[in-house]
Amino acid sequence: MIIGLTGTPGTGKTSVSRLLQGHGYNVLYLTDLIKDECLYSEVDEDRDTLVADMDRVFSRVCELAGDDEGVNIIDSHMAHHIADVVIVLRTAPSDLRERLKLRDYSDAKIEENVEAECLDVILVESVEWCQKVYEIDTTGRMAEDVVADMEEIISGILSGDDSEVHQKYMPGSFDWSGEIF
């Protein structure tokens, strides 16, 4: 089965994915796949990013993971465009800003991402498009603790009754809209 791990850049998807891989899960790092297999339609020079060809990305992910009975995690801020079941990582805007400052991002790119987190952009898209959405707060926590939450959610899903974990990791638990100004 495919589980998307999505969230604003900097919320910790790749750090958590690497740890999950160490625990034996298959992980597809979508950004690498798109780059390595040229699954993009154009290069957006202004935003310093590749515009993914989502039809080809979707087909390729299905090829790589679709028939696998184990759990395949897709690490990407676009995972919710592909998977029906997604876990959204969240980070309080002030914490996220500090994490993004450590990257080679322009101030504008940092603020664009912080604003997107304040406005729940990825969470709202996930709830709109996916069948099942779980939300984990990473603020002030260790990546290992987030991995433990992920494994709890995955166990719940695999058990066939996710009602308890869905209640515990219910989407829409944070309101950071006041931090925009």
Which residue ranges are tagged as binding site for ATP?
10, 12-15, 103
Does residue 86 contact residue 130 with C-beta atoms inside 8 Å? yes
Kind of pairing between the strands at 40-44 and 49-52: antiparallel
Residue in the shown chain whose Cβ atom is closest to ligand ADP: 12
Residues binding ligand ADP (CB under 6 A): 7, 9-16, 99, 138, 141-143, 146
Does residue 86 contact residue 132 with C-beta atoms inside 8 Å? yes
The sheet carrying 132-137 orders its strands as: 26-29, 72-75, 2-6, 85-90, 132-137
Minimum gap (Å) between residue 29 Cβ and ligand ADP = 9
| Residue 32 vs 42, nearer CB to ligand ADP | 32
Minimum gap (Å) between residue 69 Cβ and ligand ADP = 26
Minimum gap (Å) between residue 49 Cβ and ligand ADP = 13
| Residue 15 vs 21, nearer CB to ligand ADP | 15
